[in-house]
Chain A
């Protein structure tokens, strides 16, 4: 049984067979086939089961609107469910499986649900699974999920790659059918930069499916010729197999380029590319989609849209049946009969719901005017149809046309609302399309091909002229005028037989009626109650039909009934395509510090701080627990010397005659009179008086300062400073630039830090305690003339320096410091030891600068100047921010030093309660914000916030951690745990 439905001709290459697998069976199609056309060529009509009732379903359409023929394509991790067979280009080895059945497709064990259909009507979830409540999660939902659903996932990571890209054009033309090609030609001839995108892998649109004649050529040949002409033009980009899925603000369009075939041949190639297209103008030439008619049992395999029958016949050389009937309410349906007849296929009957004269005569076909199809027979394939006149006709295929709906989706992505057109019996775009978008051809409701071509031709030229290009003076292509007349026909009374409206969601005309009767009148409500128009096809074949039925039910006009809101994406887009390259380690870029290479060699453990990778600790051989490493790093730094890469701190270079004044306005403390060669600690507030960031700023010369910010706030502080300068005081002579990456900066901390540095600082620079006192800053040279900056600042509380060199020397300086430091047993320390030492010293950091703390709360009220305006001054003075019972930062240490030692976790996150209080929200007095094990104190310590803390030192409270289950009595104390007088840093 090989391609028994294949006939001669078509736009496929019958010299090039392509083998593929469907439900385990090896089949053959030809190059140029879709999966659907190849299946039909092999007489595979039954291709899936329906979502709810597991009804046998066949291929309904030949395009992206397909509700039924959705399959699992690919195997293993490559498997993708819900792939529309009608738009899947056939490639060698394609592996497809039908969905929604248990057991073989032909004998689905779940098909029994169809016999319970009276129980499964609209809203059945809501009605049936109400009680008992507890059953929902454990019983009902798993059962429903198991029996319904759309395909299954591989549950493995998607092995395919995806990419994205950016393209620009003057005019984007969406759809490369007769209209789009006509528009593209004139737009391109004018000189405008044009992108022509089409969701099909062959351009030409319906021309490839029909037998029109354009400029004396078959339509498909005219399309090939026109495409060739366009592709020869430098100002035209052709994008086939590219679905424009969304219209976004200001002329931006999203488009997915499908490269499945390429990716299957070479696994390294991206499977899809998500394009962002920037346009000045867009012409939507997306054509139209045919709809069905709701009659009894209209969902059997072998019942197909009339236009799809022509597509398979003319484009793919597949005769979908041997004895075909046509049921239509418009002229277009008759084309199917004519084309079939011309290809020698038997047309047994043409049924037209309109009581008019027959549109044509087709030899051998019985013609029934003013007649409807009311029922069908044949469980797995249609066998016969029953007409409203009582006649039964044996047939193996029924081609149905309920009329055409313009593909106006993109015109509504900015909340546009389509308007009803009675003559065309469909919705057409109104003037509410996105700015810059015009519409031509059948997408606009211009249903006659000859008119659509002229419209496209004229718009391409007119839009280009609007953009200042010279209008093209060529003539539009010519084609005979073929009329399109229609009389709306939504649903046919079908007795007890169900008439399907939404095939994908198994919604019937009766479901819609029930919803309406139950009070769901808004189209949006009906959609959600019945699931009409949901899932992968978004009701492309169903919605207008459903609206027609609703309008009849509620005795109102189509306009009054209205459409649901159209939102992107127009067609399904794989999640992977939105993620693009942003997966795993590539979710964000990675920033490496100057000492990274060296640190990696030392087996440093790295931690992500924003995008930065910082060394967290440096395990030595024999150390099996991070605490061993960190305790050692702290002790060694405090007893001799330790080195830490602090390059990640934000560094901002400020130059100009007004810099000191500027700093004075953004810091709470005075900066106007910082002497050259000195560093000052500064605290910055937000305008609302809350602490924003802190850091040190050094004055290197009269008009030159260099500021540091915290690593986390480097970007936002710089932004804030730009705001202050540009928006508040634009005439201050201040020039700032980030120099974070210009200098590699290392903290050299500990009692031996000076001795170590003296070995590399060039001898002409005196860094003795007298010459280079605490908070000194200066530009020096090291290692024989290499420029460096030295700051005597300390975060650890030790005698300490930060030394900065041009980053080009950063790696080398780290190695030299360690080499020089050997005689002092110098060690590198990471962010954990840094954190321990800062808590021991009571320095506030990220957990304390949490956006809710004022300078007073942090114990820095004394720093706040009362003599100047600065950001946060006025609002920081608000009474409530000065109250004594605010949450204030203090230190906490366990009354019993050994508490938590055996548990191995800190006080962090514990809440503070009175000694005899219950652990309730009402009794909550505050929390521990940072906590570490202090190797110097030999116990856990913490910084935290407690009501009125600064006046409660010495009092005992409980630190309760209900998550980890600890309850520790702690004493409120000064946050300066270690060397409270700061003697060590001044030696």
Chain B
């Protein structure tokens, strides 16, 4: 597999480590009234997507950036690769 790194271009998947769903970026607020449910959902509940799946990969043997990779689980086609920190910021996360 090859992941087209947004900063470095195509790199072999051997350089990367897979984590899981990109939902993990959206870590709930610890002071929310529904915090227990929120964290349960965040940690454990995943859609088993047959199609375009947004997932986190870490470029461990490269620039050590976390990437949000949109990959089709049926064809392995990689549709999009973004820096997770950019996505995180665009979701309103910062400090």
A732 touches B95 (CB 8 A): yes
Taking the closest CB of chain A, its distance from the CB of B36, in whole angstroms, is 7
Which of B19, B31, B64 has the most A CB atoms < 10 Å from its CB? B64
CB proximity to A under 8 Å, residues B55-92 = 56, 58, 60, 64-66, 76-78, 83-85, 88-89
Given that A726-B66, A727-B24 are contacting pairs, would A278 and B36 also be in contact in the complex, using a CB cutoff of 8 Å?
A: no
Is A702 in contact with chain B by the CB < 8 A criterion? no
Taking the closest CB of chain A, its distance from the CB of B76, in whole angstroms, is 5
Contacts of B27 in A (CB 8 A): 687, 728
Taking the closest CB of chain B, its distance from the CB of A672, in whole angstroms, is 14
Contacts of B10 in A (CB 8 A): 250
Residue among A249, A687, A723 making CB contact with B76, cutoff 8 Å? A249
Is A251 in contact with chain B by the CB < 8 A criterion? yes
B93 touches A728 (CB 8 A): yes
Chain A residue with the shortest CB-CB distance to B28:
A874
Is B1 in contact with chain A by the CB < 8 A criterion? yes
Q: How big is the A interface, by class?
A: 20 to 34
Chain B residue with the shortest CB-CB distance to A732:
B95
A730 touches B39 (CB 8 A): no
B89 touches A730 (CB 8 A): yes
CB proximity to B under 8 Å, residues A114-173 = none
Bound: A715/B84 CA distance, A: 20
Bound: A661/B94 CA distance, A: 13
Contacts of A250 in B (CB 8 A): 1-2, 10, 76, 78
Q: Count CB-based A-B contacts (< 8 Å).
A: 78
Chain B residue with the shortest CB-CB distance to A718:
B64
CB proximity to B under 8 Å, residues A208-250 = 248-250
Given that A722-B58, A722-B64, A874-B36 are contacting pairs, would A727 and B25 also be in contact in the complex, using a CB cutoff of 8 Å?
A: yes
Bound: A875/B19 CA distance, A: 19
Bound: A688/B39 CA distance, A: 9
Is A905 in contact with chain B by the CB < 8 A criterion? no
Bound: A878/B39 CA distance, A: 11
Is A658 in contact with chain B by the CB < 8 A criterion? yes
Chain A residue with the shortest CB-CB distance to B22:
A727
Bound: A719/B17 CA distance, A: 9
A726 touches B88 (CB 8 A): yes
Bound: A869/B30 CA distance, A: 6
B58 touches A719 (CB 8 A): yes
Contacts of B25 in A (CB 8 A): 727-728
Which of A688, A722, A732 has the most B CB atoms < 10 Å from its CB? A722
Taking the closest CB of chain A, its distance from the CB of B93, in whole angstroms, is 6
Bound: A722/B59 CA distance, A: 11
Taking the closest CB of chain A, its distance from the CB of B23, in whole angstroms, is 11
Residues 878-912 of chain A, each 1 if its beta carbon lies under 8 Å from chain B, else 0: 10000000000000000000000000000000000
B2 touches A251 (CB 8 A): yes
Given that A687-B43, A874-B30, A874-B36 are contacting pairs, would A727 and B2 also be in contact in the complex, using a CB cutoff of 8 Å?
A: no
Taking the closest CB of chain B, its distance from the CB of A609, in whole angstroms, is 20
Given that A722-B58, A727-B84, A730-B88 are contacting pairs, would A874 and B39 also be in contact in the complex, using a CB cutoff of 8 Å?
A: yes
Residues 915-944 of chain A, each 1 if its beta carbon lies under 8 Å from chain B, else 0: 000000000000000000000000000000
A249 touches B2 (CB 8 A): yes
Residue among A661, A688, A727, A874 making CB contact with B88, cutoff 8 Å? A727
Residues 691-734 of chain A, each 1 if its beta carbon lies under 8 Å from chain B, else 0: 00000000000000000000000010001001100111111100
A688 touches B43 (CB 8 A): yes
Given that A250-B1, A719-B17, A874-B36 are contacting pairs, would A729 and B43 also be in contact in the complex, using a CB cutoff of 8 Å?
A: no
Contacts of A875 in B (CB 8 A): 39-40, 43
Bound: A888/B56 CA distance, A: 34
Contacts of B95 in A (CB 8 A): 658, 661, 729, 731-732
Is A873 in contact with chain B by the CB < 8 A criterion? yes
Bound: A445/B61 CA distance, A: 44
Contacts of A878 in B (CB 8 A): 36
Taking the closest CB of chain A, its distance from the CB of B22, in whole angstroms, is 9
Contacts of B94 in A (CB 8 A): 729-731
Contacts of B30 in A (CB 8 A): 869, 873-874
Bound: A260/B10 CA distance, A: 34
A726 touches B65 (CB 8 A): yes
Contacts of B36 in A (CB 8 A): 874, 878
Chain B residue with the shortest CB-CB distance to A250:
B2
CB proximity to A under 8 Å, residues B4-25 = 10, 12, 17, 19, 24-25
Taking the closest CB of chain B, its distance from the CB of A690, in whole angstroms, is 11
Residues 21-47 of chain B, each 1 if its beta carbon lies under 8 Å from chain A, else 0: 000110110110001100110110000
Contacts of B93 in A (CB 8 A): 727-731
Chain B residue with the shortest CB-CB distance to A251:
B2
Which of A278, A732, A875, A878 has the most B CB atoms < 10 Å from its CB? A875
Is A435 in contact with chain B by the CB < 8 A criterion? yes
Taking the closest CB of chain B, its distance from the CB of A417, in whole angstroms, is 15
Taking the closest CB of chain B, its distance from the CB of A256, in whole angstroms, is 19
Top 3 A-B residue pairs of the complex, sorted by shortest distance between their CB atoms: A869-B30, A731-B94, A250-B2
Q: List 6 A-B contacts (CB under 8 A).
A: A250-B10, A435-B77, A687-B27, A688-B43, A719-B17, A726-B83
